């Protein structure tokens, strides 16, 4: 698959997945990914071993239902699907919880979701495809992001942003888009309050801790897309050289002001 080579593993957004890069470079990436899943003892929330299989494996069965019932994740030989498999390796607790969340809310529709997917599944889809975990030890940064105060967040607080937060892309579609970066890429961020000590730990320890605690919390908290905050990811300090210029953030097509409250 030619487009696997477009991933730049030196970029900060690739960091949670860089240890698995050789799996995508294999002649048979699904087999390599499955062997890695076996070594890591990946399981669904129902306890089934996770395996990566051909796209046709589910037949006519719903994708998420198929994973929950069999542990088999249909995976095409394309960057989008292979990045999804990498997300399973890097964030196994969250991915298993997302799968369970989809199935639970699909099979137990509320009145609000009777005519469609419902807010809980919409939130799960956004996090799964386009999500970013922002571990934040500074409440002021979290407040600026929630209020879409971009200058305060990325210019005024630039010096402490990296020391007070860690941004970990989760969504495989988000990482796929970042293979060809453009300024307007916007993630859906789950902001997680953490203690400063966590941010001083090695990146792999941070990732494993967030995966575990958020996998446990996901079902209770991921009830609406409104809990996920818009975050133009190439504005994150250290992620993209052009954002070293303060006027980078003046582009209101990307760094939009917060909507005005309705009376």
User: Taking the model in full, what pTM does it have?
Assistant: 0.93
HSE (side-chain half, CA atoms, 13 Å) at 9: 12
Instruction: Tell me the pLDDT of the chain (263 aa) as tens digits.
Output: 446 567 899 999 999 999 999 999 999 999 999 999 999 999 999 999 999 999 999 899 999 999 999 999 999 999 999 999 999 999 999 999 999 999 998 876 554 544 457 899 999 999 999 999 999 999 999 999 999 999 999 999 999 999 999 999 999 999 999 999 999 999 999 999 999 999 999 999 999 999 999 999 999 999 999 999 999 999 999 999 999 998 999 999 999 999 875 43
Residue 1 has a pLDDT of 47
**Burial call 32-42: b when 16+ CB within 10 Å, e when fewer:** bbbebbeeeeb
Residue 246 has a pLDDT of 84
Q: Are strands 229-232 and 186-193 parallel, antiparallel or unpaired?
A: antiparallel
Q: How many helices (H) and strands (E) does the chain have?
A: 12, 6
How far apart, in whole angstroms, are the C-alpha atoms of residue 28 and residue 7? 18
Domain ranges of the chain: 8-109, 125-250
Residue 115 has a pLDDT of 46
Residue 106 has a pLDDT of 81
Identify the burial level of 109 via C-beta atoms within 10 angstroms of its C-beta, where 0-12 means exposed, 13-18 middle and 19 or more buried: middle
Report residue 208 as tokens. Answer: 């494993």
Residue 165 has a pLDDT of 97
How far apart, in whole angstroms, are the C-alpha atoms of residue 102 and residue 121? 6
Strand, coil or helix: 231: strand
């Amino acid at each position: 698959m030619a487009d696997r080579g477009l991933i730049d593993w030196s970029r900060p957004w690739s960091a949670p997945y860089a240890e698995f890069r050789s799996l995508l470079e294999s002649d048979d990436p699904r087999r390599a990914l499955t062997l890695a899943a076996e070594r890591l003892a990946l399981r669904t929330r129902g306890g089934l071993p996770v395996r990566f299989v051909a796209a046709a494996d589910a037949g006519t069965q719903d994708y998420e239902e198929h994973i929950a019932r069999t542990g088999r994740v249909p995976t095409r030989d394309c960057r989008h699907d292979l990045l999804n498999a990498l997300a399973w390796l890097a964030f196994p607790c969250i991915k298993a919880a997302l799968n369970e969340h989809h199935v639970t809310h699909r099979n137990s529709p509320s009145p609000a979701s009777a005519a469609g997917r419902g807010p809980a599944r919409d939130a799960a889809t956004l996090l799964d495809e386009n999500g970013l975990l922002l571990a934040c030890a500074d409440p002021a940064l979290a407040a600026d992001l929630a209020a879409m105060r971009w200058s305060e967040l990325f210019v005024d607080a630039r010096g402490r942003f990296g020391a007070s937060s860690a941004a970990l892309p989760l969504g495989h579609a988000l990482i796929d888009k970042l293979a060809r970066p453009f300024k307007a890429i916007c993630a859906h961020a789950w902001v997680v309050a953490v203690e400063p000590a966590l941010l001083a730990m090695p990146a792999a320890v941070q990732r494993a801790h967030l995966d575990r605690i958020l996998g446990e919390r996901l079902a209770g908290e991921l009830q609406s897309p409104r809990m996920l905050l818009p975050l133009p990811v190439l504005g994150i300090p250290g992620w993209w050289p052009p954002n070293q210029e303060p006027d980078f953030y003046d582009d209101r097509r990307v760094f939009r002001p917060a909507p005005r409250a309705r009376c």
